[in-house]
Structure 1
Amino acid sequence: MAMPLFLDEAAIAPLIDMADAVDCLEQAFKRWRDPGVVNMVRSRARPPQGVLNLMGAVDGPAGVYGFKSYFAVSASVRFHIALHSAADGRLLVLMESSLFSQVRTGAASGLATKLLARPAASTLALIGTGRQATAQAEAVCAVRPIKRVNVSGRDPARAAAFAERLRRLLQIDVVVASDARTAVEDADVVGTITRSSTPVIALSWLKPGAHVNAAGANTSDRREIDPATLKRAAVLVTDDRAQARIEAAELMDLHAAGELSWDDVVELGDLVSSPVCFTRRSADDVTVFKSLGIAFEDVAYANHLYLRGLAAGLWRAEDFRTT
């Protein structure tokens, strides 16, 4: 009996490219309303050792389904994706997916930026300097002509080191701002990637026409955006409304207060399929993408990388079929 294919981070890394990841998600979300697409919202269990996260999706048109699991303990988190054939349930591949998850999260923000930010956007503000922040910057730079990134973080030394790494990677100007407001005020695109329990940006800081990607808070006790920004947004987008109902604290708060209808929250798949229906009314409109990270994105991207590896001859599907 042959073993299913196992891909560690080193095997996956050469296949990963941010522009390709954005394109993959854009093509995948064109299938969002297909009856064969099912997204299972994230489930969390909290034993004393840490937090177990489980999520799954079916991408029927692509012929696959899969599950993502990760266990977060005090100082580390390990991600894995199991991709299966929808035709017979066969396990195609088990992937380590820490780098994968960073890129996929960034790619979703990149896709939203591609569809919502002003075409000439040239300045990005990035609030947060953790492990996910680099991919957020890469994704926005992949879809807009960004010339400068303003960085803000709680630890000045860490922010300076992050800015230097980003400067070398992107080959553009990266500036450490004195505070979040200074970073945001002249930015065309704003990205938040924090674990904050209170908002890290405010509407009064935003430049007219700014687009915001809020990608850090995906639990009911975290909030990155102030209510005024959300209420002002001409277009308010999230990956999946069902998941937002239990994870997007900022939206949940407004809904509970009677200040937001879930029907006014656009799903990313609908934005991809009908961009002209959900567009700015003026160049000064503020737009917001509340990113949660959903299993459908993971399954679509995992299948994309698996197929790219097959096409490149890095592995052969017949070598890993069970008998």
Structure 2
Amino acid sequence: MFALMETARLESLHFAVDPLTGLQAIIAIHNSRLGPALGGCRYLPYADTRSAIDDVLRLAKGMSYKAALAGLQQGGGKAVIIRPAHVENRGALFEAFGRFIETLNGHYITAMDSGTSSVDMDCIAQHTQHVTSTTAEGDPSPHTAMGVFAGIRATALARLGSDNLEGLRVAIQGLGNVGYALAEQLHAAGAELLVSDLDHNRVQRAVVQLGARPVANEALLAIPCDILAPCGLGGVLSATTVSQLRCSAVAGAANNQLASADISDNLQARGILYAPDYVINAGGLIYVALKHRGKSLVAITAHLTQISRRLTEIFGHAQADKRSPARVADAIAERLLYG
């Protein structure tokens, strides 16, 4: 276990079990140099404990990098709860998790993530103040979409010479809360939309409301476009899929878009500009972090401009050094986190 932590450069790893509610939870604090660790809580049916540990280690590191490049006074952390096969009282389980968080004395702040909701955060909040994205604080998705939209404009400027999106062909993979909100903003800016989603109803809604062109999921990655915006599952960019891309740039909301770190070099070799996912999709983190600190919506919206500025900085360094933007982003984050 200590070898895993050292490899991940993790500060601490915490486990909790509550037999009464079925809670089995793990909290990873990756780096707290810039402030208390902040990261969502996943509630998923992991195959085994090792799978849960691997997930929380990987995600905590990503949150450290995301917070650092977003200019936040937050460290990176993550929590996973292994979802039991049968739950007698979900509310009681999350209340138990809230008591677990409270024992960490503010070193970790939790938030909504895969499998959890604002209602779950409300249950946690009954036992600790170190929680955000509650019902009262609102949905961070619109702010994630706002940040991605600004990032797409910065990417278009760097790759295509203009941030005017009028007539630009953008292929959006995934029309969930963030993907659809992004599609609405791109439509308002005059972009031509190509869309796919596993949910046919979401696609039809985009066709009717936004004039989007529907594309089969398996065909979207290979379709000719200016910008590909992955907004669904992670790992979509592999050696195989990158060889099929017919776009000038990739800039989307999905987490962990690269199947492995070296895929960024494949994109670079093909002349496809990549907007590092944890930089461009930081709008949701900015929202929950600043909301938790009591900042106004005006201040939060103003902070979102950090995303396009940071991307422009990364693209400039990448061009000068002839390196992939992902490599540059990692180097900047590590300098901020480790000096």
Q: Report the TM-score, using the length of structure 2 for normalisation.
A: 0.43
Tell which has more relative contact order, 1 or 2 (C-alpha 8 A, sep 6+). Answer: 1
Q: Is the strand fraction higher in 1 or 2?
A: 1
Q: Is the helix fraction higher in 1 or 2?
A: 2
